[in-house]
A and B are shown apart, each in its own frame.
Chain A
Amino acid sequence: AQRVTQPEKLLSVFKGAPVELKCNYSYSGSPELFWYVQYSRQRLQLLLRHISRESIKGFTADLNKGETSFHLKKPFAQEEDSAMYYCALTGGATNKLIFGTGTLLAVQP
């Protein structure tokens, strides 16, 4: 079964500290992985996708097929990074994005 697991409901860090939001997935094939972000009182929006291998707002994520993980990382957290982060996957014949339960990142001053 296709599944995305985000083990942490809440991650609290201080400004300037490194951040790692964990995401593990279960998929029998070659998935495409994404991170979506929802800032307070804003719409859910795409942050980055693994095929682009891009860095957005200082965030990066590497797909590790051996560990079936797609953790989101940032070396120095900023207060404006505080938001809800969702990991998601799609792949094969499915036309739907399967989301994890989300992690609330709180960056303290």
Chain B
Amino acid sequence: GAGVSQSPSNKVTEKGKDVELRCDPISGHTALYWYRQSLGQGLEFLIYFQGNSAPDKSGLPSDRFSAERTGGSVSTLTIQRTQQEDSAVYLCASSPHRGNTGELFFGEGSRLTVL
């Protein structure tokens, strides 16, 4: 079966533009996570969804960042008025478990470059 799918794989945008990143989790996985991977920063947690609800959005760095999930499946991470410091690889992961067992299945990521 297909793994976690993310699009676009690469996105180059100009400072100040809005971007949308999409994540298709593994079918049937109820939990969905967004992380940001920056050089030297490791993986930074952004937001966690259980179904369509986001019980933990504590990692969103500013109000320019938002995310939603519909139908318990696809999720979109939106970054408004992008800044150069937003350049990173944005990783999505899903898990079949309601509680956190620590086993996440990651996508290949969306590499965002803000010029």
Contact = CB atoms under 8 A, between A and B. Distances in A.
A83 interface: no
A43 B108 contact: yes
B40 A9 contact: yes
B18 interface: no
Q: Which of A43, A46, A90, A96 has the most CB of B within 10 A?
A: A96
A64 interface: no
A32 B48 contact: no
Contacts, number: 59
A88 B44 CA distance: 11
A44 B91 contact: yes
A12 interface: no
B104 A95 contact: no
B31 A86 contact: no
A95 B99 contact: yes
A49 B103 contact: yes
Contacts of A88: 43, 102
Interface residues of A, number: 21
17 contacts: A6-B42, A43-B4, A43-B108, A44-B91, A44-B93, A44-B106, A86-B42, A90-B102, A94-B56, A95-B31, A95-B48, A95-B56, A95-B100, A96-B33, A96-B48, A97-B45, A101-B40
A68 interface: no
A91 B107 CA distance: 23
A86 B35 CA distance: 13
A98 interface: yes
Given A44-B93, A86-B42, A100-B42, 7 more contacts: A43-B4, A43-B106, A94-B100, A95-B99, A96-B59, A99-B44, A99-B45
